[in-house]
Structure 1
């Protein structure tokens, strides 16, 4: 006679075998409804959405990780322009609905204001960075670039706070000089680099690096795929001729930044030895570049997240030991220096 424990084990084993056979039959005979016309069972919807909510709450960054500059208009505009190109097709724009094709998706992508309403900044960051499995929402295209995700979060937060369709249209309006000029042209954002002070060869190499993933950036990977690789050289020449932004006011911290920029060692030369004299066309000029952009790039170099360390080991070594205060000082110093003459 079987003991109660052995009976339980045998029953569980039999149920497992039956479950496996049922799963195999479902796959083999196409019994599972894969039609996009029909949604999941109500209990399945509930289980998946509840699991999603709990996971977001558990894994979202802590509140202390939320940047204190999410209300920066330049950051909001950068996030809005990326959203307009990469996300609006599904979630529409403030005050508008997506088209009929998107409306037919199951599950249906929620309209923008509805989508952002229940979430905190940290939770929106996790959702944008990680995506949502089985909904069609992808993860951020570049792993390790959570800093970029905050630009989109800044925009979504502005929507939560009441951004309307007119304001959205204003900050995402196409630039007369073309798609790239929206961020990099005369009316662009300080969060994106100005290109009129860079050489065409450097710009072309950067486009290829973004497209191939050698230089990780979700925003630029998306933008670079809109360009024909065969035209990178011609596009780079056009971008190098973009008019620059209006002159920026001189900022504080230039004395501390000047000392840091001139400081070098036997192993690592001073910043100015490479970025002061522009003899090498593949060495980017950073004089007059946007302060926020310079600081972001230095943090990426310091944290090993920028890519390209094998091609620029001295830059990686120079940034490795910088703290946030030193990065801010260097960014302010180079941003305040006169930009080289546009070509």
Structure 2
């Protein structure tokens, strides 16, 4: 038994010496052109597959991927952030992308062997040593939009989302990029995306700076705010703020709207009523607080959930909003979002 243990110890020592030589002397060729040693791709790919399947969210956590606007929002982000490596359903990958090791799959192949919950984990967490980045923000809600888009690609019904080709003569240079999701006039057709025509220019400039600096979390907007030159941010904010925000509210269930108004007009000794900072009607001078009348209910619900769970960030307002939202039930959030969405914009 002693000789067996000595032999095993000697083999282990030789293994460590060999590994040290490979690492320390540069004996392993890291060239992408040379590829891996035999067996290494199988080990890495199997490790990757099993790791994703172990850590992916459960089936019960998958939202309704057919929700209006969700796949379109995912398509818009994919076009900006993912096409370089994965191409589009109608185009081929570039030679640069296919020269990567490992090679990123074409978008039509990304769903192979993966369920939506697996795709979500890959998008949110990224994959080490593969070129696949993590989602820019620690938010589990946003990657589902890209999953919804990929599922549409799988079904052969991928939405065609592209920036507008014709812009007003006085439009900021980067407007086409922003208009992919927000439209030229700031009135997005997708309920997950906020209307910008109802917001103050200084507020939007501050928000864009917070996204750019990583103070406020959103994978969509952190990417966008860093893709656009910093001097253009204030110009874009001013453009959207100057758009005509007039028009009717978005309506909604009457009982829910009534409950939302009651909640919005309440306050406590520590927390002012919602209308004090966000309107409607006459309100205190609070330029850092956005007007909410006419805002999309889906967007408002998401933001309130993030505030309640302390997952939004956003600078000096964060503490107040986290405290204001911490005791809201899901039904309260639904009611508040419904009421503000029902109001005509521009009434603040």
TM-score (norm 2): 0.89
- Other structure's SS at 1:190 match: coil
Equivalent in the alignment of 2:94: 99
Match of 2:151 among 132, 135, 157: 157
The C-alpha deviation readout for 1:116-145, integer Å capped at 9, x for no partner, is 1321111110011111222111111112x0
Moved over 4 A (4+): 242-248
Equivalent in the alignment of 1:314: 320
Q: Cα distance, 1:217 vs. partner?
A: 1.1
Equivalent in the alignment of 2:115: 120
> Structure 1 242/119 Cα, relative in aligned 2: closer, same or farther at 3 Å?
farther
Does the alignment pair 1:21 with 2:17?
yes
Q: Cα distance, 1:309 vs. partner?
A: 6.5
Match of 2:311 among 283, 305, 322: 305
Q: Cα distance, 1:238 vs. partner?
A: 2.1
Does the alignment pair 1:289 with 2:283?
no
Judge conservation of contact 1:94–1:163 (CA < 8 Å) in 2. no
> Structure 1 262/326 Cα, relative in aligned 2: closer, same or farther at 3 Å?
same
Does the alignment pair 1:178 with 2:176?
yes
**Cα distance in 1 between the residues matched to 2:242 and 2:227:** 20
Judge conservation of contact 1:148–1:218 (CA < 8 Å) in 2. yes
Moved more, 40-49 or 59-68: 40-49
Q: Cα distance, 1:23 vs. partner?
A: 1.9
**Cα distance in 2 between the residues matched to 1:7 and 1:287:** 81
- Other structure's SS at 1:266 match: coil
Q: Cα distance, 1:42 vs. partner?
A: 4.1
TM-score (norm 1): 0.90
Does the alignment pair 1:86 with 2:81?
yes
Judge conservation of contact 2:97–2:103 (CA < 8 Å) in 1. yes
Moved more, 205-214 or 179-188: 179-188
**Cα distance in 1 between the residues matched to 2:4 and 2:98:** 49
Structure 1: 5+ residue stretches without partners = none
**Cα distance in 2 between the residues matched to 1:302 and 1:9:** 58
Q: Cα distance, 1:318 vs. partner?
A: 1.0
Does the alignment pair 1:233 with 2:228?
no
Q: Cα distance, 1:233 vs. partner?
A: 2.6
**Cα distance in 2 between the residues matched to 1:243 and 1:127:** 41
Structure 2: 5+ residue stretches without partners = 168-174
Equivalence map 1:240-259=2 (5 Å) = 240-242=241-243, 249-252=250-253, 253-259=256-262
- Aligned residue pair count: 332
**Cα distance in 1 between the residues matched to 2:15 and 2:321:** 57
Q: Cα distance, 1:56 vs. partner?
A: 1.4
The C-alpha deviation readout for 1:16-66, integer Å capped at 9, x for no partner, is 222222122112322101111122234111111112111111111011111
> Structure 1 247/184 Cα, relative in aligned 2: closer, same or farther at 3 Å?
farther
**Cα distance in 2 between the residues matched to 1:245 and 1:181:** 19
> Structure 1 102/263 Cα, relative in aligned 2: closer, same or farther at 3 Å?
same
The C-alpha deviation readout for 1:261-294, integer Å capped at 9, x for no partner, is 1121111111112111453221101110111110
Judge conservation of contact 1:309–1:316 (CA < 8 Å) in 2. no
Judge conservation of contact 2:87–2:93 (CA < 8 Å) in 1. yes
**Cα distance in 2 between the residues matched to 1:213 and 1:200:** 20
**Cα distance in 2 between the residues matched to 1:332 and 1:42:** 59
Moved more, 310-319 or 287-296: 310-319
Equivalent in the alignment of 1:326: 332
Judge conservation of contact 2:307–2:322 (CA < 8 Å) in 1. yes
